Structure 1
Amino acid sequence: PLSAAKKAGVPVRIAHSHSTMGKGELAKNLMKLALRPLSNLYPTERLACSEYAGKWLFGRNADFTVIPNAIELEKFRFDPVIRQETRRELGIADDMFLVGHVGRFMPQKNQAFLVDVLAELLPQKPDTMLAFVGDGPDRPDVQQHAQALGIGDHILFLGQRTDVSHLYQAFDAFCLPSRYEGLGMVAIEAQVAGCPCVLSDQVPHEADISGKTSFISLENKSSWISTVLNISSQTANRQIETSNTCAEKYDISASANRLTFLYVSSAESANGWEETL
């Protein structure tokens, strides 16, 4: 599209990096690697959702602007009433430990890894439940994997939901075992909701806005289990504190204003350039 735009004489052409790449998606990775050099050839502006995503696509020394994905912060703020109501709707008792995950069922998100973690966690913490929020092509395989391990009754497959901000409140821990991420916006949402997070080390550390997030290698399953167990022992103090300063850059109002300014200033610069011709 940016190539066509350049040929058509469009003066402002923006490339926006939202992701990177990782193991498990050979065809997609090869396509990304083939197209990556073109990302610096056609755009006049380069944007990214994180430093990591920008450097991956445009290069370590490239000139790009980071504009994080954003949310309605107040919508996700922890509310003990919403927590109780949501857990009741899910059938989760107060003394049960609920681990949550939000994401599309696809190789990148690596949900089967969490099923394996749960299988080894249950002998030590039998009152644990795992909730998957989302849908996608890998969901049947993950469900079959859970059944094969005999732990299907400890997993909730909630599908696509419109009340995700409420579900975060119900979780006691949030896990994101992604093989790669541009930022990991769901981790930001979970922290704003006061939920302790355990993320793979393939998620950019920019996703830690609470200063209390654990980043663990996918090669170290035992560390995932011990970290989640440690969180389970602290459920009485489940709510983590996320400073307003760290969260503010993900506020949708501020982000919209910043993006609008960038669009307007770019358009004005382009118009000024055309007027000098």
Structure 2
Amino acid sequence: MPFQLNAPMQKHPELSDSAKHPVRILHVVGKMDRGGLETWLMRVLRSIDRQHFQIDIMVHSQAAGDYDPEVLALGCRILPCPYLTQPWRYAWEFKRVLSAYGPYDVVHSHVHFFSGYVLQIAKAAKVPCLIAHSHNDHRAIERSKNWLRQGYLSLMKRSISRSMTHGLTTSQQAALDLFGPAWVEDERINLLFSGLDLHPFVTEVAPDDVRQEWQIPADAWVIGHVGRFEPQKNHDFLVRVAAEAMHQHPNSYLLLVGQGSLQPQIERQVRALGIGDRVVFTGPRSDIAAILLGGMDAFLFPSIHEGLGVAIVEAQAAGLPCLISDVVPVEADVVPGLVRRLSLARSTVEWANALLTHSRNTPRKSVKETLPSLEASPFNMENTVPLLEALYAAAANQ
């Protein structure tokens, strides 16, 4: 009988007599930088019962990640396996890690299509529970790739289907990308929304305290965005929309939270648009809730593709009116009335007009209004972690 994520469960599931040792889990990620997946995984590490569950993280980079110090402080090991372009060496190193640091009860892979290779190796090593986790929807960009890439995707999808014992997905669109349309009939696959830690949103934040760090006037209207400076987040389009909105609303600023390879290009672009003195690049931040609550008045999110868009859920927790692209999964709409969607086929002027109109017509909500919707939802980390604990414990009991 397959494990069902919507089944009743205890907060800390008991292990059977044959599995009294801590359940050992190996998560596989690219690098522990501040991204949506990595931030969610950190919330899991902070919240999970570490007496019952012992977690290590395999990364595909030898460079240090933003979260590495905290990962180590929580008693987890970071195990590099950077040989993505050398499949045979990667397999050898992966097997060595499984042998030297295992045995593991669970391999939980977050590296999307490459999970096909990860889980194939782990299956050959007789790891009992193999989880493929889909956090994104790449279909819009993968359709245009050449035949070689298409062949790789087909091979990896078949390998995932043959190897995994469980599949998790942050949205229905993310499921379609990794598992295909048959996922709805596959009892191994379940939705698991990326949970938020809601506690930081309860803390009262003074806008003046937040804005003073970047010399943003207290009475300014601030457009905000949280996301990596990578093509998926569509910063080029975002800043052009913001520039048009700033032209119509002179006392306005743009606050960009995150880091990434395209940041230098975007910095040049805002200077060329003549808005460089009103655009703030904060870099990676650990105080996202405070910035959303005190630093922003509206949230702009024109992503080209998304698996869910956790930043949108966080913006709603902070009560912000949000204008987002219509490719963002509908599961991200949590607080009624705050989110408006628009096609990326619309012009930057239409986007700017929609942002201004939506902000004028949508009063900001207080956290007393937003948090009840989130506390009882699958986006609450306190509801998410017990689901994972039950899944991991079931694997150990088998």
TM-score under structure 1 normalisation? 0.88
Matched, 1:84 2:211: no
Q: Equivalent of 1:242, from 370, 392, 397?
A: 370
Q: Match for residue 197 of structure 2?
A: 72
Q: Match for residue 56 of structure 1?
A: 177
Moved more, 221-230 or 65-74: 221-230
Q: Match for residue 232 of structure 2?
A: 108
- In structure 2, how many angstroms separate the alpha carbons of the residues matched to 1:91 and 1:234? 28
Letter in 2 for 1:217: S
- In structure 1, how many angstroms separate the alpha carbons of the residues matched to 2:265 and 2:200? 33
Matched, 1:224 2:351: yes
8 A Cα contact 2:223 2:242, kept in partner: no
- In structure 1, how many angstroms separate the alpha carbons of the residues matched to 2:322 and 2:126? 46
Q: Match for residue 130 of structure 2?
A: 13
Matched, 1:177 2:317: no
Q: Equivalent of 1:44, from 162, 165, 179?
A: 165
Moved more, 25-34 or 225-234: 25-34
- In structure 2, how many angstroms separate the alpha carbons of the residues matched to 1:158 and 1:253? 29
Change (3 A) 1:168 1:78: farther
TM-aligned CA deviation for residue 211 of structure 1: 2.2
CA-to-partner distance for each residue in 1:235-273, whole Å, 9 max, x for gaps? 8x32264362445311112211111001111332x3xxx
Letter in 2 for 1:44: T
8 A Cα contact 2:301 2:312, kept in partner: yes
Alignment gaps of 5+ in structure 2: 1-117
Change (3 A) 1:158 1:4: same
Letter in 2 for 1:93: P
Moved more, 171-180 or 82-91: 82-91
- In structure 1, how many angstroms separate the alpha carbons of the residues matched to 2:202 and 2:318? 5
Q: Match for residue 18 of structure 2?
A: none
Query: How many residues get paired?
Result: 267
Letter in 2 for 1:239: K
Letter in 2 for 1:227: A
8 A Cα contact 2:234 2:303, kept in partner: yes
Q: Match for residue 206 of structure 1?
A: 331
Alignment gaps of 5+ in structure 1: 271-277
Moved more, 55-64 or 37-46: 55-64
Letter in 2 for 1:142: I
- What RMSD over aligned residues (CA atoms) do the two structures have, in Å? 2.3
Matched, 1:191 2:316: yes
- In structure 1, how many angstroms separate the alpha carbons of the residues matched to 2:177 and 2:278? 38
Matched, 1:263 2:376: no
Moved more, 23-32 or 188-197: 23-32
TM-score under structure 2 normalisation? 0.62
- In structure 1, how many angstroms separate the alpha carbons of the residues matched to 2:324 and 2:171? 16
Change (3 A) 1:22 1:156: farther
Matched, 1:141 2:265: yes
TM-aligned CA deviation for residue 6 of structure 1: 1.3
8 A Cα contact 2:323 2:358, kept in partner: no
- In structure 2, how many angstroms separate the alpha carbons of the residues matched to 1:95 and 1:122? 14
Moved more, 41-50 or 118-127: 118-127
TM-aligned CA deviation for residue 33 of structure 1: 5.5
8 A Cα contact 1:97 1:232, kept in partner: no
Letter in 2 for 1:9: K
Percent identity between matched residues is 36
Change (3 A) 1:32 1:73: farther
Please state whether the residue corresponding to 2:233 is helix, strand or coil.
coil
Change (3 A) 1:151 1:209: same
CA-to-partner distance for each residue in 1:68-118, whole Å, 9 max, x for gaps? 111211212473x43332123332223211011111101011111111112
8 A Cα contact 2:139 2:177, kept in partner: no
* 1:23-34 aligned within 5 A: 30=150, 32=153
